[in-house]
Chains A and B, each alone.
Chain A
């Protein structure tokens, strides 16, 4: 569908340019050789392109309705991704690795590594393993590693229109933990927990916490911890009944992971798709952002077609007159 949009804009732009070129043939012949051609069109084109960038810039850098997680929101062990980016700047990761595909090609893309590893602990242990080796001959403190882990989690979750290409095998690896667990978690959650905690996790009976609240999870994980929470589920707590007769500790953890996904931006209880071999699905995935909606696409297509027509017309004009 995308290639069709692209080629139709090109083809129709070309057609309009040819028609305009034929229509203006007479005027072109009558013009004096001194005249600097299509002066008005040229100026209009420059203004239009600058205007386009002026409008596209705020949309592109996530200041209106962000399409990406923001660096202050993604955290690991109390550190934010923004702090991690500073560490990355200090060690110039981009001089060996690529970040969103830009940088050096000596080592693999950091977003790709993060997506493949997926789990924060796995990312952290990769950093621990590689830092200080011949590959990456510098030492990172534990604090720096935690900050970088937060940053790599953020890179993992950037909405890069599904780039980098990732083989289904890798996608499955990455999603297994996530998707498989989430699917099982969803099933168990809806069976045992939804009655009190609500289908959407926001809490159905008084006293229950709001699972959609990121801050709640942050405190719970840093005070009670995963093990503590698993224990609550198995043993119960106040109004919360014990589930050890129906759930194994692993299953309890799985349900909790699912409950936590309610708090994650853009995920809301579903597995995130990463990679694959095509960028096409990203058009559908982003339709709910107003500047990437169907209506907006009509505008972009029209702009592209008309501008391409003007550009090609200018080129033909030059060729005929030059």
Chain B
């Protein structure tokens, strides 16, 4: 029952987002296969091609989901139909052309047959995260530009925007503008990498911290139109934007330690990226407080679950796992190893959960069908499986990175030794990945069922749950502090690679043990907090 006709335009994008998520997972699996059986697909789908699909599948399903969410929410926010629905269709078409054309050109990298024009690679570009060639980048930007015309035309005049909307539009705009520098080809490697991080890092800062904060604020204000809530949200957004923008801009220096850029980044980037945990912790505490104030019963439980997921993956995966590896003296060891993948996979999961949450939020309305029992239960299962699987997988990567550091950096053993040792951790990766995949199936099934199949609408009745420790928010602040302690343990562990035990006596026991305690502790705490937080909100136990 969408209140506005044009909200329906979002439907095809939701389906595209589900499909691209599928592609992402399949190619993630193929990349993993290389670590078990290196020659199986070599020459057919090379590792770098699989990885390019894995990354770009992710990026484009996030784009699709975000566009879908904006199309869905825009009329509600503005209180009128979307301006230029024809243009919206053009944007969707452009996005599809980009995905299809871009993805079809990627295999050319296997034979190196690119086309260069204006000093730029036109079909594809061999830089991680920004693999698409200039032609496709231009189409993406065109889509963004047309879409922003639609958005600005539909929204009420800027004077009337709440702060949350400012944050959303501003964050999104920054993320799109900074899409440009990272994509240009510079022949100097430090320059190329310097600007590539503008794009990749600011997606996190601009999109995750600023735009998502704004999006939540708006969602809350739409869900609970109470003036005192608006005040809380406004204030929290202001803090968030100031802290995220400043620590984010300077904190991106943690990408500039070893890429040929000046030494001052080691100080500035180190200090401010360590302080980057402030905005995210703040977000967590604010969310707790807002939840307590709002005290509502959620109707769309899957959407709420994934929203909690962003928050906690944000605090633990982005902020704390980021903190562990951001100190120059820990980064020195882990940079360029599988330890980085721990943070990367949890980070991206925070994004992904945001997009999934938005899709769950929009689907019942788009399909014009009520939220029912199956939708809710499948959604909850999807959440549990995806979150748990991702934590197991990411942690396995992190643990496997430790012997990589020791054997390759410290002992200087041949690369084949690294591959062999990391292969021992592949069972963990595969168990995690399989859980994520089953979770994805539940997610896709629940969305597609709603879109394409009849839904009778049996109501979901949560069972009566007693207010036990696992069902309430009790002890959350302590758990967050405990997580900080484990992050410090992880930091100490990586730092201890500098000790003489390791470098002189060649005994890696200390860093292995201490860092593992840090990583596993963080993983367990993350899982625990996810369960507590989601259940508490579902059952309505808001007290701390």
Contact = CB atoms under 8 A, between A and B. Distances in A.
Interface string B294-338: 000000000000000000000000000000000011001101111
Contact of B190 (A56, A61, A163, A278): A61
Interface in B489-536: 498, 503
Contact of A98 (B196, B239, B257, B336): B336
A50 B247 CA distance: 11
A102 B272 CA distance: 21
A46 B242 contact: yes
B104 to A, nearest CB: 16
A139 B332 CA distance: 34
B110 interface: yes
Given A50-B249, A89-B114, A167-B412, A62 B188 contact: yes
B405 to A, nearest CB: 8
A155 interface: yes
Interface in A256-312: 277-279, 282-283, 286, 289, 291-292, 296-297, 300-301, 303-304, 307-308, 311-312
A92 B289 contact: no
Interface string B233-262: 011101100110111011000011111111
Contact of B243 (A60, A164, A279, A314): A314
B174 to A, nearest CB: 11
A242 interface: no
A318 B239 contact: yes
Contacts of A56: 262, 264-265, 268
Contacts of B264: 56, 291-292, 296-297, 300
Interface in B444-476: none
Contact of B112 (A72, A90, A291): A90
A108 B415 contact: yes
Contacts of B267: 2, 5-6, 9, 300-301, 304
A192 interface: no
A303 to B, nearest CB: 7
B50 to A, nearest CB: 9
A134 B51 CA distance: 17
A145 to B, nearest CB: 12
Contacts of B274: 10
A169 B412 contact: yes
Interface stretch (A34-42, A176-184, A196-204, A222-230): A34-42
B263 A71 contact: no
Interface in A49-81: 49-50, 52-53, 56-57, 59-62, 67-68, 70-72
Q: Which of A52, A101, A164 has the most CB of B within 10 A?
A: A101
A163 B332 contact: yes
A27 to B, nearest CB: 17
Given A46-B242, A60-B190, A90 B121 contact: yes
B137 interface: no
B51 A95 contact: yes
Interface stretch (B40-48, B64-72, B138-146, B425-433): B40-48
B23 interface: no
A37 B237 CA distance: 12
Given A34-B231, A60-B256, A71-B189, A94 B128 contact: yes
Contacts of A154: 189
A104 B239 contact: no
Interface of B: 31, 34-35, 38-39, 42-43, 46-49, 51-52, 109-114, 116, 121, 124-128, 131, 185-196, 231, 234-236, 238-239, 242-243, 245-247, 249-250, 255-268, 270-272, 274-275, 278, 282, 286, 289, 328-329, 332-333, 335-338, 340-341, 404, 408-412, 415, 418, 498, 503
A95 B260 contact: no
Given A95-B48, A311-B278, 11 more contacts: A6-B270, A67-B262, A85-B189, A92-B48, A95-B51, A101-B336, A104-B47, A138-B111, A138-B112, A164-B335, A277-B503
11 contacts: A45-B242, A60-B194, A89-B185, A91-B112, A95-B131, A106-B47, A134-B39, A160-B260, A163-B332, A279-B258, A315-B282
Instruction: For the complex of A and B, list the 5 residue pairs with the smallest distance between their C-beta atoms, beginning with the closest.
Output: A95-B48, A92-B126, A163-B258, A101-B336, A42-B242
B258 A109 contact: no
Contact of A95 (B47, B247, B332): B47
A37 B187 contact: no
A82 interface: yes
A96 interface: yes
Interface of A: 2-3, 5-6, 9-10, 13, 34, 36-39, 42, 45-46, 48-50, 52-53, 56-57, 59-62, 67-68, 70-72, 82, 85-96, 98-109, 134-135, 137-138, 140, 144, 154-155, 158-161, 163-167, 169-170, 277-279, 282-283, 286, 289, 291-292, 296-297, 300-301, 303-304, 307-308, 311-312, 314-315, 318, 322
B249 A90 contact: no
A45 B128 CA distance: 32
Q: Which of B196, B289, B340, B408 has the most CB of A within 10 A?
A: B408
Contacts of B282: 315, 318
Contacts of B242: 38, 42, 45-46, 314
Nearest to B113: A90
Given A94-B127, A95-B128, A104-B51, A291 B262 contact: yes
Contacts of B127: 89, 94
Contacts of B194: 57, 60-61
Given A307-B272, A322-B289, A279 B266 contact: yes
B490 to A, nearest CB: 18
Contact of B328 (A95, A279, A311): A279
Contact of A2 (B113, B265, B266): B266
B257 A163 contact: yes
B121 A89 contact: yes
Given A71-B189, A95-B47, A318-B239, A9 B271 contact: yes
Q: Which of B34, B246, B415 has the most CB of A within 10 A?
A: B246
Q: Which of B109, B189, B289 has the most CB of A within 10 A?
A: B189
Nearest to B234: A36
Contact of A100 (B231, B259, B333): B259
Given A56-B264, A134-B39, A134-B43, A85 B187 contact: yes
A99 to B, nearest CB: 6
Given A107-B415, A167-B410, A88 B126 contact: yes
Nearest to B110: A138
A158 B335 contact: no
Q: Which of B47, B231, B274 has the most CB of A within 10 A?
A: B47
Contacts of B188: 61-62, 68, 70-71
Contacts of B271: 6, 9-10, 13, 304, 308
Q: Which of A92, A277, A312 has the most CB of B within 10 A?
A: A92
